[in-house]
Structure 1
Amino acid sequence: MKSVSALRVVALGLLVLRFVLVGPTVRADEGTIKIGILHSLSGTMAISEAVLKDTVLMLIADQNRKGGLLGRKLEAIVVDPASDWDAFAEKARELLTKEKVAVVFGCWTSASRKSVLPIFEQLNGLLFYPVQYEGEESSRNIFYTGAAPNQQAIPAVRYLTSKEGGEVRRWVLLGTDYVYPRTTNRILSAYLTAEGVSPGDIMTIYTPFGYSEWRGIVERIKAFGSAGKKTAVISTVNGDANTYFYRELAAQKVDASAIPVVAFSVGERELLGADILPVGHLAVWNYFHSIKSPENEAFIEMWANFNEQRDKITNDPMEATFIGFRMWAQAVVQAGTTDVNAVRQAMYGQRIKAPSGFEVVMNTNHHLSKPVSIGRINPSGAFEVIWQSINPVRADAWSRYLPESARRTADWTFPWVCGGCIEPTFREW
């Protein structure tokens, strides 16, 4: 006969499973399956986000040509939060309550994601977030298909400190003033300190969204880089401010061989139509348009055909959107329903051969295992891949370089069912 304590453990486990599997759900109606698209089509972030709306429309059209899902056509519900973080929350609530979408693909900045997160958790909606971010989060209602810091920021710094990367010893951490750059730079500062870099060799600068007056900041970067140690700029600048930043670098003749800028938010799309190309500077992503693989050839052709050959340029967040959409569709078929709880469980272990040429997999921390690539900008505005990880890297939701996060784990399967549990030490076991 089981002890009372054992029965209590079993009962607790059943309650947890009931919460996970039988909680309130958001369903599409019985006609079409509604897909929410929550991206800025105007404002400072439109330069980056607008193309992701079209990427989802492309994927919906492709799926409908194949017969839709579960015998039903997919219908896009497009809203424009206009680069306003409060509007993101308002539009998210509208998509979930009024439109009753089955899933939402959207957001770019962490500010927008943080704004909508409580809405998705309260209403048990499902958001696929397609952009690199700062980590330190794992929600049961969000699947993160962009890079975590250990899939972008940390590999970038490791590369730059190597002989191959130029043996950089001084660092300018430059970012737009919001949560993603600030948290990423806190992680990078902790990592650099652990590697023996002195605080005097790290300079941190933040600017507002849409910032355009870069002269003084570029002068500071040049002065900081003149101290006799190889210096690099780690840029988490977002949106159209990058255009002004690179223009000022060129105006002040900041050569990439002297002070390389490594961007985490600039891809091929942001360089389209640029009057001055930042040739020689770098970016770190999980995917570049220039990657050679049969899967990428098919992805680029799909995009070009969707645009009637007017636009053939793809980028990392587009690939992340592609991965998320295809995995969601596979999960819906596996679950036999668009029910959020059922689809969420079916998402764990979903895998596809991505345009990057690697097989990527969704882990139970709601993050992907993906490759890491470093690209250098050439005179045609494309990125030449100069370094790539041998295998996909599993994303860490929580950084081991931050003391308050080092022991946290995210795992949405029993017995954890948690986005930030504290792992017990051996002594505690």
Structure 2
Amino acid sequence: MKPSRRDFLKKASIAGVALAAPHLWLPVTREAWGATLNKGEPIKVGLLFSLTGGLAVPEEDSTLVMQYAIDEINAAGGIAGSPIEPVIVDAKSDFNVYSEKAKELILRNKVIALFGCYTSASRKAILPTVMSQNHLLYYPTCYEGAECTQNTICTGPLANQHSKDLIPFMVEKFGKKVFFVGSNYVWPKESNKNAKIWLQNAGGELLGEEYIPLGSSEFGPVLNKIRQAKPDFIFSTVVGASDIAFHKQFKQEGFKVDEMPIASLTTGEIETKAMGNEFGAGHFLSAPYFQNLESPTNAKFVESFLKSKYGKNGTTHYNMEETYLSAYVFKAGIEKAIAQFGVEEVTPRKIRDVSGGIKVSADISPEGEIWIDEQNFNTWLVPKIGQCQADGSFKIVKTASEHVAPDPYSIYADIGKCSANGLVAPDGKVRKNVI
């Protein structure tokens, strides 16, 4: 029996503040009122990315490629005969706007799922609403882990799927002395906790660690510290417009990429295009996807997307490809939920609960076959390392020999293990919605 509006108004509660503290437990209330499907009617999804501000460089492409994927799916018949209808929002690179618009998309627009965010700060800003409404967020980029919710599906890599390979690779190729630079929020800091362990295991030495306000473009003081420390390479978790400024000032200050390259988790083809190829050339990125990846599926994806009305920025990159994959994970999940429950009984939470084990095959996925972990709902993928070339493309210099399982608690074994029903502590106790 469907809940009445009176029941909803009486029982539903929305937490509207951004939470940055790790391992915070939040209770689930109930399913979002009205977030259901009706046979033959459009399936509404919310696209919650920044089209303006400092995060627009990667996030505009996420909005564009989601529209491309939706058009592609709709042209092939949609889902169970219904088209997907995107509700597009500009989060304006403002965490308060992410939070406000997430509530609107869920409660006013009654979308069945959200696709959104690039930073962990914006993800954590909307998760209280997503979880209190027992809704569903597809988070389509890399993140730090140390999170176990029952309302998210993630299609990007975790720390054990990129920096775990990148750090020892750089130590072997360039030397043991490293300087960490990141944007000042939860993802860089938590990612660097992982990176420090990989660095220690590789016999490396951390010379310094600096964080820049998100959106800042002033790197003079940090570069002065790097000049004094003389590391063999820089490990960067700087994001958005700040990332572009960092690479440009690195070269303008006279640093030589062959003597001290930057190894990044974020600087891909779109950032390189925005900064100018000469500022990206020679540096490294760890990601599961690069535009130059050789496969018939990727060649078709790159050509078709760039020729489409959505390919205006002239390149593909890891973040948009992971967003593209999230559309097909959603399609498979909703089809599975419809088959199991019937169209009108499908809810956001039911889509999530049937999505464990879903695969996106190599004839659809540009990076090759991937699948959703049955317990933590992150993605099994093949990590890769690329070096930026003079033309802004990336040459893949290392590829993992097999798919790597996502492990959100890879350095926190004492905290527990993420399962489909919650975080299972060593003593067997289960906590739901840990962020």
* Alignment pair present for 1:43 and 2:44: no
Give the structure 2 partner of residue 410 of structure 1.
418
Determine if the alignment matches structure 1 residue 219 to structure 2 residue 239: no
Q: Secondary structure at the match of 1:38?
A: strand
In structure 2, what is the equivalent of residue 421 of structure 1? 424
- Quick one: structure 1 residues 65 and 277, their matched pair in 2 at CA, closer, same or farther if it must change by over 3 Å? same
Which amino acid in structure 2 is aligned with residue 342 of structure 1? K
Matched with 1:54 is 64
Q: Is structure 2 residue 71 aligned with structure 1 residue 71?
A: no
Partner of 1:121: 131
Q: TM-score, normalised by structure 1?
A: 0.86
- 2:185 is aligned to 178
Q: In 2, distance between residues paired with 1:367 and 1:326?
A: 14
d(CA) in 2 for partners of 1:321, 1:273: 20
1:342 to 350, 357, 360: 350
Post-superposition offset of 1:305: 3.2
Question: What is residue 387 of structure 2 aligned with on the other side?
Answer: 376
1:196 offset after TM fit, Å? 4.7
Among all aligned residue pairs of Structure 1 and Structure 2, give the percentage whose two residues are the same amino acid. 25
Query: Structure 2 unaligned runs (5+)?
Result: 1-26, 429-435
CA distance 1:153–1:180, shift in 2 (3 Å): same
Question: Match for residue 258 of structure 1?
Answer: 259
Task: Give the Å deviation of 1:315.
Answer: 0.7
The AA in structure 2 aligned to 1:237 is V
Spell out the pairing of 1:226-265 with structure 2 (5 A cutoff). 231-265=232-266
Question: What amino acid is the match of 2:146?
Answer: E
Task: Report what 1:159 is aligned to.
Answer: 169
CA pair 57-299 structure 1, distance change in 2 beyond 3 A: same
Moved over 4 A (4+): 20-23, 194-198, 308-312
- The structural deviation recorded for 1:33 is 0.8
1:255 and 1:35 map into 2 onto residues whose CA distance is 46
* Contact 1:175–1:235 under 8 Å retained in 2: yes
Q: Any unmatched runs of 5+ in structure 1?
A: 1-19
**1:110 corresponds to which letter in structure 2?**
S
SS at 1:277 equivalent: helix
- Identify the range of structure 1 (216-225 vs 48-57) with the bigger mean alpha-carbon deviation: 216-225
Alignment partner of 1:94 out of 104, 107, 119: 104
Contact (CA 8 Å) 1:399, 1:406: kept in 2 or not?
no
Q: Deviations over 1:113-145 (max 9, x none)?
A: 001111100011111001111111121111111
Q: Which amino acid aligns with 2:384?
A: S
Q: In 2, are the aligned partners of 1:22 and 1:341 still within 8 Å (CA)?
A: no
RMSD: 2.2
User: Highest Rg: 1 or 2?
Assistant: 1
| One-letter amino acid of the structure 2 residue matched with residue 329 of structure 1 | K
Give, in angstroms, the shift of residue 191 of structure 1. 3.6
Correspondence for 1:190 among 197, 219, 222: 197
Letter aligned with residue 274 of structure 1 = M
Alpha-carbon offset, residue 155 of structure 1:
1.0
Separation (CA, whole Å) in 1 of partners of 2:192 and 2:262: 15
* Mapped contact 2:270–2:317 kept (Cα < 8 A): yes
Whether 1:270 and 2:281 are equivalent positions in the alignment is: no
User: Which of 399, 420, 427 is matched with 2:410 structurally?
Assistant: 399
Corresponding position of 2:24: none
Deviations 1:190-216 (Å, cap 9, x if unpaired)?
A: 343455545xx3310000122222223
> Larger relative contact order (C-alpha < 8 A, sep ≥ 6)?
2
1:352-392 CA-to-partner distances (Å, cap 9, x unmatched) read 13545431110020100111111111110111111110111
Distance 2:227 2:28 in 1: 56
Residue 328 of structure 1 corresponds to which residue in structure 2? 330
Kept in 1: contact 2:31–2:135 (CA 8 A): no
Aligned length: 389
